[in-house]
Amino acid sequence: MNDIIETFIHDHLFLHLVLIAVSMTAIIIAMGIDFISGIQKAKQRGELRTSKKYKMTATKAKKYFNPFLTLVMIDLICCIVIPFPVFAMLWAAYCAFCEFKSVREKSWEKAELRKAEKTMSIIIENKDDIARLAAQILFETQKEKEDKNDTGTTE
């Protein structure tokens, strides 16, 4: 019985642990590449690199590694049935894909998105003024039409 358990631990669990370590390393490397790329893009755009923006990497790591560790536990529970840690590897592939897409985004596209965000926030903040201005323009247009109709019928 001990031989069976030792063989299982040595062959099967060792493979699981190696693949889990490779998956975790892939996530860390992808996050590092994205971090460096983000710093370079911020320099190109002339943005400040503040501690708040650096902390976003820690937040991202938390978003990646909490589900990853949960999936690792599921993989370890299922290791008798599944020959390798499928769930953890799929999650690592997804995280690496997200980081790849983030690195591939052009810095000017991000700048345009931020500019559009600022414009929309200004519009939302000043929606009452915009509505009042639109109503005033409509009222003046309607008044001009009525004035033209009044002068056209009296002559």
Read off the pLDDT of residues 84-131 as tens digits, 9 standing for 90 and up.
Answer: 899 999 999 999 999 998 888 776 666 677 788 888 887 778 777 777
Mean pLDDT value across the chain: 84
pLDDT of residue 74: 93
Residue 154's pLDDT band (boundaries 50, 70, 90)?
low
pLDDT of residue 97: 94
pTM score: 0.64
pLDDT of residue 108: 64
* pLDDT of 9 above 80: no
Q: What is the mean pLDDT of residues 127-155?
A: 77
Residue 71 vs residue 142, higher pLDDT: 71
- Ordered by start, the domain boundaries in the chain are 1-105, 106-155
* pLDDT of 60 above 60: yes
Residues 23, 94: Cα–Cα separation, whole Å: 11
| DSSP code of residue 84 | S
| DSSP code of residue 49 | -
Task: Say which residue the tokens 């985004």 belong to.
Answer: 105
Tokens of 145: 């039409």
Longest dimension (CA), the chain: 112
